[in-house]
Each structure stands twice: as C-alpha cells, then as structure tokens.
C-alpha cells in the first residue's frame, strides 16, 4: 500500500515543522515580527502532502483553505453585516486558523511508518514508557476503525443510526460492542507482542534507516527563520 | 500470560503488558474522540466538544481504570492524548495540560489505591480538563494574533473577538471538568450493566 511514498523525510524534521506551524500559524507567536512568515508556513503542509503523493488530501485542504479565505475577504469587501456575517467569520476564521496544522498532522500520520517513528523517537532518547504505548496505538488504530465500521453497519440495520428509529441509543449500542471486541483483540495483540519480546529487558533493534537528508535541511532552514525572528523580536 | 502478570505486579515499574494496555485504550479513546469531533465539525459547534468528548470518553476510561494498578499509567495515557491533539493540529497547549492533568489525576487515583470508585470519577474529571487546552490558543493573545491579519479589515477582528469573549473560557473549563465527572459516572453505569456481565473487567 505504501510502495510509492514520494520524497521521504526524517520523522524528527516532520515533528519540527509541526511544532513550528502550530506555534506560529495557530498560536500566533511573535506578533507582527513573524507575520510575514505565517502565509509561507501555512503553505508548507500542502506542499509536503503533494511531495508525499497525497494528492486528494492536499487538494481538499487547498480548496477548503482558499475557499475560506476567499469567502472572508469577499464578505469584508461587501461590508456585510448581521448574523450571517458572524457565522462566516466564525467558521472561516477557525478553519483558516486550524487547517494548516490539521493538514500537517495528517501528513505526519500518513507518511510515517510505525518502525520509522520508533527509530526516530529512540534517537532523541524518548523513554520506552512512551514509545511502546505509542507504537501499539498506531498499530491498533486501523483495527478499531474497522470494527467500528462493521458495528456501525450492523446497527444501521436495526435502525440505530442518525435519523434512524432509535438514534438515542447510539452511544450505548455502538460503544459497548466496540469496546468489548477491541479489548478482546487487544488481549491477543498484547500476548503476540510479548512473545516477540516487547517489554523485555534487552535492547530492541530496528532496521529502519533514519537520518537527515537534503530535503530535511531545506525544511529545517525554513522552520528556523520564524524562530530567529521571534528571538530577535524578544531581544529587541 | 498470568505468570508474567503476577511476576511483574510485585514491582512498581510498569511492565510490557501495562504499556500495551495503555496503547490499546488510548487507541480506542482517540478513535471515539475523533468520531465525536466529526459530529461537531461545524466550527461554531467546536465548544461543544468540551461537553461531548469527556462524556463519551468516560466509558472507555472507566474500563481502562479497572486495569490500572500502578502509578504512571494514567499519566502516560493523558500525555499521549495530549500529544495526539497536538499532532492533529490543536496547538501545543493540550500537551502541556496533558502532563499537568495527567499527574494530578494519577495522584488522585493513587490516593484511592486505584480501587476507589469515587476517586476514579474525580480523577477522570481532572483528566478531561486536557480538552480545554485545545481552546486556549483562541483566548491567549487574541489581539496579537488578529493584529497580523489587518488585511481583513478591522470589522473582522472586532467580530471574531466578540465571538471568543474571555468569559467563555472559564465556562468551557468548567464544562470539561463537570462533564468529565458525568462521563465517568455513565461509564461506571455501563461497566456494571455490560462489562462485568461479559467478564471483561
């Protein structure tokens, strides 16, 4: 499934980009000093998604982002007022603010394999107490979603869905079976993981080659600029 | 597997099985939370997430709390939830909140020896405050942020500041705590009704 993954980056670089984008594009740190960098940073996730050949996700993101900014500027240009204007402002303002970060998150999750992630985390000396739950979690996500899907369609037949006859029972009738089967699968998974030596006292090895390349240095250079601007602004 | 469990439960250190359990429950919790967030995808509905996520998440967490026997497990799961929120683009505040709330929730649960039901409910309430971190960037330095967007006109800035008035911050904060407690009570109700019967607990 992940044969053609486009340009690969080190997971640590991806984390750095994510931190930079959330800090400056969402958090608005640095105020006017870094304001000029914000549009550049907002574009970075979309470019990255394109390099990873996630064209559909990138396209949806770009359309949403461009649409919300266009709608906002046209609403401002026409001097709209009243309730509708506030709705547009609220929706588009939030969307424009959160979307680049959400897209960056999507990119990080979709373009990184669990082994690569584990290897990178080991290199920055994160404790095993965090790495093991995280790798189990990433491994377990597709299973949970698969089960939720099957349970959802089974319950739809009984009218327990949105707009169905018994939509009020949704929480109980969907979550309880989901959790029951996930816990059972989890028991098996943990037995399997323990037989492969997870949680043992020996050091585990990893065959993934993680390291910085040309594309990583470019990304790091782009990320460092707003931080320098921020520091200069504070020092001044 | 039982042999491994009894062997490790004597020590305070977290065993591999504990860590795997954390991963499994974190995955279930986060999938449910993402599904709930999709319901509130209309951005205006976003504050509702502070109500819905703790309420629905309480069921998973109460099941997780029955597996917790050592210090650190609740801390780690809260930190992971916070980190996930960070990675999916909610800013770094949930992560910071995750660390603080996680340790506090863990201490509360430990004071009940990880068996007290009342302490578990309170602990989940504290845990749920992590959600508030998602909303914090909207209140922090809102003028500073919108000062960078003057191209949209002053009216825009005025309107957005009006929507995110400072008094809504404590309301969201309180909501996440209260509904965390309600969610935990709901979870314990389900625990008794379904999971104990099914022999999962």
Kindly write down the DSSP assignment for every residue of B122-141, as one continuous string.
Answer: HHHHHHHGGGHHHHHHHHTT
Compute how many other C-beta atoms are within 10 angstroms of the C-beta atom of residue A71.
16
**For chain A, what are the domain ranges?**
11-112+210-235, 125-195
Q: Is B171 on the interface with A (CB under 8 A)?
A: no
Model pLDDT, residue A128: 84
Q: pLDDT, tens digit, for every residue of A4-60?
A: 667 788 889 998 998 888 877 776 666 666 777 778 888 888 888 888 888 888 898
Structure tokens at B134: 């998602």
The verdict on a CB contact (< 8 Å) between B59 and A175 is yes
Nearest to B147 among A31, A79, A104 (CB): A31
* Percent of chain A whose predicted confidence (pLDDT) is above 70: 86
> Does residue B5 have a pLDDT over 70?
no
Structure tokens at A232: 């200069």
Model pLDDT, residue A69: 80
pLDDT bucket at B2, cuts 50 / 70 / 90? very low
The verdict on a CB contact (< 8 Å) between A90 and B86 is no
Q: pLDDT, tens digit, for every residue of A180-198?
A: 889 889 888 888 888 877 7
Integer Cα distance of A71 and A65 in angstroms = 10
The model's pTM: 0.79
Q: Mutate one of B1, B2, B16 to test the A interface: name it (highest A CB count within 10 A).
A: B16
Q: Mutate one of A30, A84, A133 to test the B interface: name it (highest B CB count within 10 A).
A: A133
Integer Cα distance of A206 and A147 in angstroms = 30
pLDDT bucket at B183, cuts 50 / 70 / 90? very high
Integer Cα distance of A212 and A219 in angstroms = 11
Model pLDDT, residue A27: 63
The verdict on a CB contact (< 8 Å) between A136 and B20 is yes
Q: pLDDT, tens digit, for every residue of B124-160?
A: 999 999 988 877 877 776 555 555 554 455 565 666 6
Model pLDDT, residue A57: 85
Model pLDDT, residue B86: 81
Q: What is the mean pLDDT of residues B99-116?
A: 92
Tell me the residue length of chain B. 201
Q: Distance from first CA to last CA of chain A, Å, rounded?
A: 51
Integer Cα distance of B87 and B98 in angstroms = 13
Cβ(B23)–Cβ(A135) below 8 Å: yes
The verdict on a CB contact (< 8 Å) between B27 and A191 is no
The ipTM is 0.77
Which position has the higher pLDDT, B92 or A157? A157
* Percent of chain B whose predicted confidence (pLDDT) is above 70: 75
> Taking the CA of residue B172 as centre, how many other CA atoms within 13 Å lie in the half-sphere pointing to its CB?
22
> Does residue B179 have a pLDDT over 60?
yes
Which of 68-127 (A) contact B at CB < 8 A?
Answer: 72-73, 76, 79, 85-87, 89-91, 93-95, 98-106, 108-109
- As a whole number, the mean pLDDT across chain B is 80
Model pLDDT, residue B164: 67
Q: What is the mean pLDDT of residues B80-88?
A: 85
Within 8 A of A100 by CB-CB distance, chain B residues are 89
Integer Cα distance of B120 and B65 in angstroms = 7
Within 8 A of B22 by CB-CB distance, chain A residues are 133, 136
Which position has the higher pLDDT, A88 or A130? A130
> Which range in A16-30, A131-145, B70-84 is most confidently predicted, on average pLDDT?
B70-84
The verdict on a CB contact (< 8 Å) between A172 and B190 is yes
* Percent of chain B whose predicted confidence (pLDDT) is above 90: 33
Which of 145-164 (A) contact B at CB < 8 A?
Answer: 145, 148
Q: Which of A93-97, B51-55, B189-193 shows the lowest mean pLDDT across its residues?
A: A93-97
Structure tokens at B98: 């995750």
> Which range in A13-27, A100-114, B99-113, B167-181 is most confidently predicted, on average pLDDT?
B99-113
């Amino acid at each position: 499934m992940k044969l053609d993954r486009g340009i690969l980056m080190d997971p640590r670089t991806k984390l750095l980009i994510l931190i930079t984008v959330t800090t400056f594009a969402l958090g608005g740190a640095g105020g006017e000093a870094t304001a000029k960098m914000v549009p550049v940073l907002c574009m970075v996730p979309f470019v990255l998604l394109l390099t990873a050949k996630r064209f559909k996700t990138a396209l949806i993101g770009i359309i949403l982002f461009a649409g919300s900014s266009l709608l906002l500027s046209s609403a401002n240009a026409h001097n709209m007022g009243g309730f509708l204007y506030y709705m547009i402002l609220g929706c588009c303002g939030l969307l424009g603010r959160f979307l680049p970060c959400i897209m960056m998150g999507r990119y990080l999750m979709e373009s990184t394999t669990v082994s690569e992630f584990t290897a990178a985390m080991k290199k920055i000396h994160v404790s095993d107490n965090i790495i093991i739950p995280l790798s189990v979690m990433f491994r377990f996500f597709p299973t949970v979603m698969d089960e939720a899907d099957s349970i959802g369609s089974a319950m739809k037949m009984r009218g327990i869905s949105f707009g169905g006859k018994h939509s009020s029972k949704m929480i109980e009738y969907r979550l309880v079976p989901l959790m029951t089967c996930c816990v059972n699968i989890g028991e098996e998974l943990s037995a399997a993981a323990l037989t492969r030596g997870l949680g043992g006292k020996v050091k585990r090895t990893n065959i993934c080659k993680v390291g910085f390349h040309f594309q990583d240095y470019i990304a790091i250079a782009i990320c460092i600029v707003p931080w320098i601007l921020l520091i200069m602004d504070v020092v001044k | 597997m039982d042999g491994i469990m009894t062997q490790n439960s004597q020590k305070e250190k977290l065993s591999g099985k504990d860590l795997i359990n954390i991963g499994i429950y974190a995955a279930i919790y986060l999938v449910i939370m993402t599904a709930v967030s999709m319901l509130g995808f209309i951005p205006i509905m976003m504050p509702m997430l502070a109500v819905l996520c703790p309420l629905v998440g309480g069921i998973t967490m109460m099941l997780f709390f029955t597996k917790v026997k050592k210090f650190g497990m609740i801390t780690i799961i809260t930190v992971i939830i916070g980190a996930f929120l960070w990675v999916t683009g909610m800013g770094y505040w949930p992560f910071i909140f995750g660390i603080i709330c996680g340790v506090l929730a863990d201490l509360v649960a430990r004071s009940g020896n990880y068996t007290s039901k009342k302490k578990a409910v309170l602990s989940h309430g504290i845990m749920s405050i992590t959600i508030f971190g998602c909303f914090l960037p909207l209140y922090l330095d809102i003028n500073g942020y919108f000062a960078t967007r003057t191209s949209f006109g002053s009216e825009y800035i005025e309107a957005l500041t009006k929507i995110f008035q400072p008094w809504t911050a404590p309301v969201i904060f309180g909501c996440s705590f209260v509904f965390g407690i309600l969610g935990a009570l709901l979870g314990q109700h389900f625990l008794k009704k379904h999971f104990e019967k099914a022999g999962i607990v």
